[in-house]
Amino acid sequence: MRKILLIAKRDYLAVVRTKAFLIGLVALPIVFGGGSVGSALVQNRAGAKSRQVAILDPTGAAAAAIVQAAKDKTEEDRLSKTAGLQASPQFDFETVAPDHAGLDEQRLALSDRLRSGNLAAVLELDPDTLHPRTNPPPPVRYYTNSGGIDTAQGWLADAVNEGLRRARLTELGVAESHFKELLTNTPLQSTSLVARDPRTGAIGAPRKRGQAESFAVPFITVMLLAMIVLIGASPMLSAVAEDKLQRVYEMLLATATPFELMAGKVLAAIGQSLTSSVFYIIGGLLVLEGMALIGMAPLWVLPWFFIYLVAEVTMLCAMGVALGATCGSPQDAQHLALPLLFPVVIPLFLIGPILQQPNGPLATALSLFPLFTPIVMMLRQTLPGSVPAWQPWVGLAGVLIVTPIITWGAARIFRVAILLQGQRPNAAQLLRMAVRG
Amino acid sequence: MDAVEIQSVTKTFGDLTAVDDLTLTVPEGSVYGFIGPNGSGKTTTMRMIVNIFYPDRGTIRVFGTESHGTSSAHIGYLPEERGLYRKMKVRELLEFYGELRGGRKVTAEVDGWLRKFDLFQWGDQKLETLSKGMSQKIQFIAAVVPSPKLLILDEPFSGLDPVSADLLRDAILELRHRGATIILSTHDMHVAESMCDRIFMIFRGKKVLDGTLESIQGQYGSDTIRVSSNGDAAALNGLPGVERVRDLGQVQELRMAQGCDPQEVLRALVGRARVSSFSIAKPSLHEIFVRIAGPAAEEVAVA
């Protein structure tokens, strides 16, 4: 154990004392956080800029109602407390009467204006838009030259439908003063499950559950776990391959056993990961405290977070050490880097289906597969809607069984492969090394 | 007690038998030279002694103990392929290696060795800033701190300039005087002859020589004539009873066939050139090495 700790200390200090580690530690949240804030600011600026929209209206009555509805919606958005940084789009409208004889020419002219940037969008109404005779009703054609995610479309769709409803109500003789009551939207408020307080026995009050609780907190927690695992584990393969090429290991192997050497390296990586995670978690909690949002922090999940972190880093680092030992060149290490990270990358690719059905068969199966357990079970545990109590423990048991097996096999591969030069063993040979040593 | 006892050890890598049924005993306190052509099994034998490789068959005891899967604090090992953490500072690195093997702080010993090799002022420099020769000396220090009972050196002098080589030789002999057992491999037959109490030669995985220099030379008898003359090596070709002429520049070495009379050779030689020196000698270790592993031996082996 003394040798393991000594090797771990050397490897740990060799990494955390580098400028690259410290810069990476600080830069990562700045890049992610700065990116989000920057994106919001850019969106805000883009949203605040006034854009011109043309409405081609063959009904003769709908356009005015749509323009008025859009103005009212703009004002509502401005007054809305929930709008936050995101200002609503600002639109100026112009109504265009259709030239039935030259409609194609008219569309072309409007399209050219869109291409030149003179217009942001064109809404072409159908003659039956106000009184549709078909089901579904004829669509309003939406022309735009903007690419990527077009937030204006959704906003304008709301304004168009609001305006059309108002026009219909007006035709029916309903006074304008009744519009708000008739057309108001009632939202669905996402709410946490009610529970009994185990100490007082009192039934708790329903609690508003925001998007942050149902999506952001699980997402950020899992991304943090994945990010720290990747930071801790991914350099292992190339570092071992590099040290092998530098012929560092032969002398060490005369002093420490392969298992001691490998265990020291894995322990160092765990230390680096814990250092990063403590830094990020304390930093995150301080930010939440400063924003008076500390109640959102899922503190109860921290013990699981650290257990999963240690298990995943151990498994990936052990595999990284073994695969690094088989490399004959830095190129070999590059080729093996991605497969090594599959236990993290695959669950991240499947995050969508898991979020949709956290207790579905796919999510459950993945979370009980030991290589995926840390990421997937963490995600499921942080999502609202409880995971059956036995599942995290079964998942943990699988991890606790598989991790030593992987570490043991990896040590045997490491011992045989680390002094091999000029040849890269294939999968069958690796298996033989792991079994026979 | 013997420092190392190797008993009927065989080690194979796939189809290749690197070491074949080797039995060898290294007495405590001796300097034992391992010689043999490249790829003959020297390094594999050394790696088995330090437990980097395990024998497929046979046993290896170090100071009477057979250890499998563990490393010994008593063995210092300098591998042929030099490599250290190049980003570490010299003193940190040496203290790390010393503490790893010895289980205690070795600061004073490290400083002592750095002074001995005139590297003290480089202690706070990163290894990557050192020359190749300096790095080799650092690696030697890493192998001998703290003082090992058994020191295994694989090609310790390769790549060193004469001054550094002398420093290293003195250091090795000093360790031997302090009681350490030294095993060293070398391709320099002069080093083996001058430093080693006993010499072991391995060829194609098998032991072909083992003993003191005298005893090894004794196996071959006094079948060598060393000659200096005013004629070149060509003048010596075709001398009666001479199997082979080896031109060393100022001196030529003649190998006599069995039953050859050196007086006959001298008489024939005087008729061809003016002889300034003529001596009958045992074959050098170099000559013996070449006889065993040289092209002529290869041809015999193939035939």
For A143-176, write each residue's pLDDT tens digit: 988 766 677 888 899 999 999 999 999 988 888 8
B189-210: average pLDDT:
88
Give the DSSP H/E element, type plus range, for residue A275.
Answer: helix A258-290
Q: Write out pLDDT tens, residues B281-294.
A: 888 888 888 888 87
Q: How sure is the predictor about A37, in pLDDT bands with cuts at 50, 70 and 90?
A: low
Query: Is A284 within the bounds of a domain?
Result: yes
Q: Does the structure show a pLDDT above 80 at B221?
A: no
pLDDT at B300: 47
**What is residue B213's DSSP assignment?**
H
Query: Is A352 within the bounds of a domain?
Result: yes
* Residues A296, A388 within the same domain: yes
Query: Is A33 within the bounds of a domain?
Result: no
Q: Which of A3, A243, A251 sits opposite B79 (nearest CB)?
A: A251
User: Which residues, in sequence order, are CB contacts of A192 under 8 Å at separation 6+?
Assistant: A206, A207, A208, A209, A213, A384
Q: Does the structure show a pLDDT above 90 at A437?
A: no
A247 in contact with chain B, both atoms CB, cutoff 8 A: yes
pLDDT above 90 covers a percentage of chain B that reads 12
* Residues A233, A380 within the same domain: yes
C-beta pairs of B243-247 under 8 Å, 24+ apart in sequence: B244/B296, B246/B287
* Residues A109, A241 within the same domain: no
Q: Which of A6, A247, A255 sits opposite B71 (nearest CB)?
A: A255
A393-402: average pLDDT:
90
* Residues A288, A172 within the same domain: no
What type of residue sits at position B129? T
- CATH number for the domain spanning A96: value is 3.40.190
Select the highest-mean-pLDDT range: A15-19, A84-88, A205-209, A262-266: A262-266
Angstroms from A3 CA to nearest CA on chain B: 6
Q: How far apart are the first and last CA of chain B?
A: 43
Residues of A in contact with B75 (CB under 8 A): 254
Residue of B nearest to A240 (CA): B85
Instruction: Give dist(CA A94, CA A117) in Å, integer.
Output: 15
Q: How sure is the predictor about A84, in pLDDT bands with cuts at 50, 70 and 90?
A: very low
Residues of B in contact with A256 (CB under 8 A): 71, 100
A353-377: average pLDDT:
87
* Residues A338, A381 within the same domain: yes
Query: Is A369 within the bounds of a domain?
Result: yes
Q: Write out pLDDT tens, residues B53-66.
A: 888 899 999 888 88
A6-11: average pLDDT:
87
The half-sphere exposure of A430 on its side-chain side, counting CA atoms within 13 A, is: 16
The per-residue pLDDT of chain A, averaged, comes to 82
- Nearest CA to B59 among B14, B16, B10, B17? B10
The 3-state DSSP class for residue A421 equals coil
Q: Write out pLDDT tens, residues B19-57.
A: 999 999 999 889 999 988 888 889 999 989 988 888 889
pLDDT at A43: 58
Last residue of a domain, one of A183, A202, A230: A183
* Residues A365, A409 within the same domain: yes
Instruction: Give dist(CA A331, CA A335) in Å, integer.
Output: 6
Cβ contact, residue pair B84, A248, below 8 Å: yes
A13 in contact with chain B, both atoms CB, cutoff 8 A: no
Q: Does the structure show a pLDDT above 50 at A83?
A: no
Give the DSSP H/E element, type plus range, for residue B243.
Answer: strand B242-247
pLDDT at B303: 43
- Nearest CA to A132 among A160, A109, A89, A164? A164
Q: Which of A6, A246, A254 sits opposite B99 (nearest CB)?
A: A6
Query: Is A12 within the bounds of a domain?
Result: no
Answer left, alpha or beta for residue B211, where phi above 0 means left and psi between -120 and 50 means alpha: left
* Residues A242, A117 within the same domain: no
Q: Write out pLDDT tens, residues B63-90.
A: 888 877 666 778 889 988 777 888 888 9
Six-digit token string for A353:
């289906």
- List, as one string, the DSSP characters of B57-107: EEEEEETTB--SS---TTEEEE-SS----TTSBHHHHHHHHHHHHHSS--H
- Nearest CA to A378 among A221, A227, A230? A221
Query: Is A36 within the bounds of a domain?
Result: no
- Nearest CA to A222 among A282, A309, A137, A118? A309
Instruction: Give dist(CA A30, CA A35) in Å, integer.
Output: 8
pLDDT above 70 covers a percentage of chain B that reads 96
The half-sphere exposure of A158 on its side-chain side, counting CA atoms within 13 A, is: 16
Q: How sure is the predictor about B9, in pLDDT bands with cuts at 50, 70 and 90?
A: very high
* Residues A326, A421 within the same domain: yes
The verdict on whether omega for the bond into residue B146 sits within 30 degrees of 0, i.e. cis, is yes
Q: Of B232 and B70, which is predicted with more confidence?
A: B232
* Residues A162, A219 within the same domain: no
B241-267: average pLDDT:
83
Angstroms from B138 CA to nearest CA on chain A: 13
A256-282: average pLDDT:
86
Interface mutation vs chain A, best among B75, B100, B126, B127, most A CBs within 10 Å:
B100
Beta strands (DSSP E) in A251-337 are: none
pLDDT above 70 covers a percentage of chain A that reads 88
Instruction: Give dist(CA A68, CA A83) in Å, integer.
Output: 21
Query: Is A194 within the bounds of a domain?
Result: no
pLDDT at B63: 85
Q: Which residue has the tokens 């088989």?
A: A326
* Residues A308, A386 within the same domain: yes
**Total domains present in chain A:** 2
Query: Is A375 within the bounds of a domain?
Result: yes
pLDDT at A193: 74
Q: Write out pLDDT tens, residues B151-167.
A: 999 988 887 888 888 88
Angle at B184 between CA B183 and CA B188, to 5 degrees: 150
Q: Of B132 and B182, which is predicted with more confidence?
A: B182
* Residues A263, A401 within the same domain: yes
* Residues A178, A247 within the same domain: no
Structural domains of chain B, ranges and CATH numbers in brackets: 2-217 (3.40.50.300), 222-281 (3.30.70.100)
Cβ contact, residue pair A254, B71, below 8 Å: yes
- Domain extent at residue A356: 210-436
